Structure 1
Amino acid sequence: MFRRMKPYQLVVDVGLAVVFFLVATPVEAVMGGGYLGTGSPSADAWRMLSAFVTALLFSGALAMRRLSPALALGLAWAGALVQIALGRSPSFSDLAIFAVLYTTAAYGSRGVSRAGLASTVVGALVITVYLMAGPGFANGMPSWDAIPSALLMLVAAGFALGLSWTIGALVRSAVRARETREAQQRAESEAIAEQERVRIARDMHDVVAHSLTVVIAQANGARYAAAADPAAAAAALETISSTAGAALADVRLLLTQLRHSQSDGPQPTLADLEALYAQVRAAGVPLRVDVDPVPPGAPPAAAQLAVYRILQEALTNALRHGAPGKPVDVRLSWYPDRVEVAVRNGLAERAPTGADPARGHGIIGMRERAQLAGGRLEAGAHPGGSFLVSAVIPIGASA
């Protein structure tokens, strides 16, 4: 029934209505039949009262037009009916009707807007009938010769009232279009920001999780080997140092990308796979790599990045959840239109609670990597106590 409005809007509407009332009351008194004081006291009092009531109703409609378009439309109809009942001619106060019809279309609900449209049609008919058969024709009903004038009056009244309602409807459509456009822009901005957060989180997980897994494996091995073979402990510490340094460099690149969106994050290629294999082997995992067939030329950068990150995460899972001492098999098959990746490792007999490799961010990240490159990925335990990660990444024109 009532719309939310800012305080200054209420002040403006009420102030405008007060000014309108102060101007409309004397105008209505004069147009009601001569100047005050020229007739009997009772006639002057009646004329002043009717002018006051008419001006008050239309001024109230003007004050309520944005706060409650439905109430404003009701007050405007009440003012019009009072005019008709008192036999008064259209005057200055009727200007408020145009403002009320505008606001019913611009701010009213669907029902109020339709009521305003209906009021333009009914109002035009009422105005025409009242002017043709009302005070202007007090001596009798108009003749058939007045029909053309009545039709012309009907068209003019309908056009004037309908124009006010149409302008309000156009303003309403423009406001809704602007709000829809702003909402769409906000949604697009939020989607872009969410995609960027997911991408950065995925990169951080790939870099940090793998590096920390290698560091932990090396640290555990060095702790047990230090007493029997100091050289092995020194080699493990060297691997820890190089792995941590590489991870720190990648993290710095990611942080730079956070501060400057135009900077590129770490983009490993196939040339970095040997260093990845060396890290895994240094952590004590027997790794067997089979590449058949070999890449036909230089694969797309997106495919190289996806293959590297999938292998990195799959080998990290093998380090964390794989059976100690059992080999990890890596197979890469580069075909003209796709590359197939498969990583198989044995599972520990008793995995720690909550350490299921099929759950967590790693599998999600690998699957997202494959999907971003236009491929697919499957991961899960297989009969015989093994865990298999297999992916197909399209390359070439088919991507």
Structure 2
Amino acid sequence: MIRPLSRTALALDIVGAALLFVILTPFSIVFYGPGAVGQGVDGTTVAAVVVSGILMCGGVAIGRLAPGLALAAAWAGAIAQMIAGYGPLPIDFAILLVLYATAAWGIRAVLWWGFGSALFGALVAAVYMVVVTGVVSSATSGWDQVTTGTLLLVLCALALGFAWVCGLLWRVVLRARATRSAQLQAESLAAEEQERVRIARDMHDIVAHSLAVVIAQADGARYAAAAKPEMATEALGTIAQTARGALSDVRLLLTQLRHRQGDGPQPTLADLETLFAQVRQAGIEPRITVDPTPPGEPPGAIQLAVYRILQEALTNAIRHGDGAVDVHLAWLADRVDIQVRNTVGREQPQVGGGHGVIGMRERAQLVGGSLQAERQGAQFVVRASLPIGESA
């Protein structure tokens, strides 16, 4: 029965209802008093109008807070007015506001109670004005009384129904605003989630590959330190260079995350040689085959996807592989096909269920392609097909 409402809104409703009472009650007394059952403006007239005004304006005051109670207060005020024998008063304008509130802010039951009150109230008002207040003279014929009563019924129904329909329209507007707000919030959350996934994917590609190279170089340097110190020195230099590059990439990602900047410089096909060199330094010899070669300059998104997929596949080869790795790129007219094969050591666990494969698959899907990664006997095979479209 009670809706959540801010104190400011409740205070505005109370002040508005008080002003309505102060303005319309004197008009009601002056307007209707002289005709009250042949009497002048006496204490009974004033008391009846004041009581009706308090009840109706009280309903206006709590219209948004408790539309059901407001409707009950308006009915109480109308009944008190009819018991006192008074016809329509200016203060009855408050009834229209209450019906508006029931349609705009009431629950479903209150909404339909307001609709029923509009129809039943119109019938009661028409019958009351014809039978009690003497709007139609008793000397007129029965047909004239029926005609006048029907006209009054239509007018009352139009007035009360118009207020209820206006409230219903405002209810629809509020519902549409709430739906739009929820939609915008959902879209914002989805965009943030996509951004987090993108940054996590980039972070994994950069850090996992760099750490794999660093670990391989560190292991090699430890074994070579006793026999060939110069190889250990070279390995340490590779470790430092790889770590600096990874640190620079991580800082760029963190800057994008903190300040929501656009994407910084992304790897292209020209950076593949550096990637292959890092793999060779880690002790894995990639055998690269490019047939056919790119017919032009592929789109930047395709170049980035190819680089990241190869980077993750080669990282898996460094971590789980045993020997060389075969890389085949086929730049066709409408797509590029990628295939990476490496032998997996017998002692290695099943490969293919980690974040790396998920990241590669997401990379392919982002550009409209597909990727499969599976173990075939002693080899782990990554196949991807990325659509190119029109080359530059």
Match of 1:213 in 2: 212
* TM-superposition CA deviations, 1:236-273 (whole Å, max 9, x none): 12222322232233234334434554543242122221
Match of 2:337 in 1: 340
Aligned pair in 2 of structure 1 residues 106, 313: CA closer, same or farther (>3 Å)?
same
Match of 1:11 in 2: 11
State the one-letter code of the partner of 2:324: P
Match of 2:177 in 1: 178
Match of 2:290 in 1: 291
SS state at 1:327 partner: strand
Describe how 1:78-117 pairs up with structure 2 within 5 A.
Answer: 78-117=76-115
Describe how 1:225-304 pairs up with structure 2 within 5 A.
Answer: 225-258=224-257, 261-304=260-303
Deviation of 1:391 after TM superposition, in Å, equals: 0.9
Aligned pair in 2 of structure 1 residues 94, 391: CA closer, same or farther (>3 Å)?
same
Distance 1:294 1:48 in 2: 99
Match of 1:349 in 2: 346
Distance 1:2 1:264 in 2: 50
Matched, 1:388 2:375: no
State the one-letter code of the partner of 1:396: G
Deviation of 1:73 after TM superposition, in Å, equals: 1.1
SS state at 2:346 partner: coil
Please tell me whether the aligned partners of residues 49 and 81 of structure 2 are also in contact (alpha carbons under 8 angstroms). Answer: no
Deviates more, 1:92-101 or 1:18-27: 18-27
Deviation of 1:222 after TM superposition, in Å, equals: 0.5
Distance 2:159 2:360 in 1: 67
Distance 1:76 1:104 in 2: 11
Deviates more, 1:335-344 or 1:261-270: 261-270
Distance 1:370 1:215 in 2: 27
Matched, 1:317 2:319: no
Deviates more, 1:7-16 or 1:136-145: 136-145
Please tell me whether the aligned partners of residues 253 and 266 of structure 1 are also in contact (alpha carbons under 8 angstroms). Answer: no
Please tell me whether the aligned partners of residues 250 and 266 of structure 1 are also in contact (alpha carbons under 8 angstroms). Answer: no
* TM-superposition CA deviations, 1:58-112 (whole Å, max 9, x none): 2332232121111211221232233333322222332210110111111112232
- Identical columns (%): 54
Please tell me whether the aligned partners of residues 100 and 166 of structure 2 are also in contact (alpha carbons under 8 angstroms). Answer: yes
State the one-letter code of the partner of 1:59: C
State the one-letter code of the partner of 1:321: H
Deviates more, 1:132-141 or 1:221-230: 132-141
Distance 1:142 1:134 in 2: 15
State the one-letter code of the partner of 2:197: V
Distance 2:49 2:295 in 1: 94
- Report the TM-score when normalising by structure 1: 0.86
Describe how 1:142-161 pairs up with structure 2 within 5 A.
Answer: 142-143=140-141, 144-161=143-160
Alignment length, in residue pairs? Answer: 389
Matched, 1:379 2:379: no
Please tell me whether the aligned partners of residues 132 and 142 of structure 1 are also in contact (alpha carbons under 8 angstroms). Answer: no
- Report the TM-score when normalising by structure 2: 0.88
Describe how 1:20-59 pairs up with structure 2 within 5 A.
Answer: 34=34, 50-51=48-49, 53-59=51-57
Distance 1:208 1:341 in 2: 22
Please tell me whether the aligned partners of residues 215 and 244 of structure 1 are also in contact (alpha carbons under 8 angstroms). Answer: yes
State the one-letter code of the partner of 1:369: R
Distance 2:280 2:358 in 1: 25
Please tell me whether the aligned partners of residues 328 and 343 of structure 1 are also in contact (alpha carbons under 8 angstroms). Answer: yes
Please tell me whether the aligned partners of residues 133 and 141 of structure 1 are also in contact (alpha carbons under 8 angstroms). Answer: no
State the one-letter code of the partner of 1:4: P
SS state at 2:134 partner: helix
Match of 1:64 in 2: 62
Distance 1:180 1:370 in 2: 34
Deviation of 1:189 after TM superposition, in Å, equals: 2.3
Matched, 1:131 2:124: no
Deviation of 1:319 after TM superposition, in Å, equals: 0.9
Distance 1:280 1:357 in 2: 19
CA-atom RMSD, angstroms? 3.0
Deviates more, 1:251-260 or 1:16-25: 16-25
Deviates more, 1:157-166 or 1:21-30: 21-30
SS state at 1:342 partner: strand
Deviates more, 1:365-374 or 1:47-56: 47-56
Distance 2:6 2:344 in 1: 66
Structure 1 stretches of 5 or more lacking a match?
none
Distance 1:273 1:378 in 2: 21
State the one-letter code of the partner of 2:381: L
Aligned pair in 2 of structure 1 residues 19, 274: CA closer, same or farther (>3 Å)?
closer
Deviates more, 1:235-244 or 1:221-230: 235-244
Structure 2 stretches of 5 or more lacking a match?
none
Matched, 1:361 2:360: no
Please tell me whether the aligned partners of residues 357 and 363 of structure 1 are also in contact (alpha carbons under 8 angstroms). Answer: no
Please tell me whether the aligned partners of residues 62 and 70 of structure 2 are also in contact (alpha carbons under 8 angstroms). Answer: yes
* TM-superposition CA deviations, 1:28-47 (whole Å, max 9, x none): 677775599x98xxx96765
Deviation of 1:226 after TM superposition, in Å, equals: 0.9
Distance 1:327 1:12 in 2: 78
